[in-house]
Structure 1
């Protein structure tokens, strides 16, 4: 399988309610095993997070389709002023690094691909489609520290690790907070 036949469609907060069942369906499939033992991975917890993210101004989502089958998606939103995103940062960094003005940083909240389309380039294609033409100067994301291969993959795409972060969400794992320069030449 390749990404050649994958159609990437763009959405925003206006289509969030319509997209919600599809996003939950893909999540429940991708995280089925993890949700059995990890309270942070339950569909209910994810649904709460999805509802919070998709109601934010500037929320965008891309969904990849193989014919009419959704193969994966990515979504996120700009961090607002005084964003709680950095509240769980455990690594000491200069204050200006985590100061948000509502236009500085785009947070890539989720990126997932169904099993049959993994290792085909779909994840990178969704990643790039979500971040292309973003007006922010940088993007951020969190990678579970239990997934070093995912961390390495993001590094290969140009992301750099800022430090350790544990979100202030019950049962949240320890993450690597990562940054990507979005500056356009």
Structure 2
């Protein structure tokens, strides 16, 4: 199967997609669910908090009626805790530039390596009005492959954050323009 057969559905209503997001999360994180930071309960708490943020939106990819993955995002304000948690000073003007934060990207294993994560990501950002997009990644995930993938999508590391509570991982904060120029988009890796 290829990314061509994937249907993309948007939602801004968490109640309509809650069970689908939990199902995909539990499948993707199956080998980590025993860890407190990655439990389904912790994800549910995080999801409820994120879904109440301004500009929250999710895109879910479906192969026929099977949910294969999702990405969701929300708008950041200049004083958002997203920025306040950074371990090092941010680039000049960073927090004053309108920003959308991609807070979660999940893709089930059978659909990986086909460009579907990028398809979902790009669809999520396609009509966003914000000038830049930020995300956080555990640089250890996939032995560094996930961070490298985001770098191939045009993201650059700008800082790190210790995720609360104290059992949370240290994440790399990344940033790029929301809408890449055509020449930059043509060099994006489609894993």
Q: TM-score, normalised by structure 1?
A: 0.90
Aligned length: 179
Hey, what does 2:69 align to over in structure 1?
72
- List structure 1 segments (4+ residues) > 4 angstroms apart after TM superposition: none
Q: Equivalent residue for 1:47?
A: 44
2:165 counterpart of 1:169: yes
User: In 2, are the aligned partners of 1:58 and 1:77 still within 8 Å (CA)?
Assistant: yes
| Contact in 1 for aligned 2:91/2:158 (Cα 8 Å) | no
Structure 1 residues 69 and 83 mapped into 2: Cα distance closer, same or farther (>3 Å)?
same
| Equivalent residue runs for 1:22-171 within 5 Å | 22-36=20-34, 38-94=35-91, 96-99=93-96, 104-147=98-141, 148-171=144-167
Answer yes or no: is the 8 Å Cα contact 1:166–1:174 preserved in 2. yes
Residue 19 (structure 2) aligns with: 21
Counterpart in 2 of 1:9? Answer: 9
CA distance in 1, matches of 2:180, 2:114: 27
Q: In structure 2, how many angstroms separate the alpha carbons of the residues matched to 1:54 and 1:93? A: 26
Task: Indicate if the aligned counterparts of 1:40 and 1:172 stay in contact, CA closer than 8 A.
Answer: yes
Q: CA deviation at 1:95?
A: 6.0
Structure 2, unaligned runs of 5 or more: 182-191
What 5-or-longer segments of structure 1 have no aligned partner? none
TM-score (normalizing by structure 2): 0.88
Q: What RMSD, in angstroms, separates the aligned Cα atoms of the two structures?
A: 1.6
- The 2-side partners of 1:169 and 1:77 are apart by 22
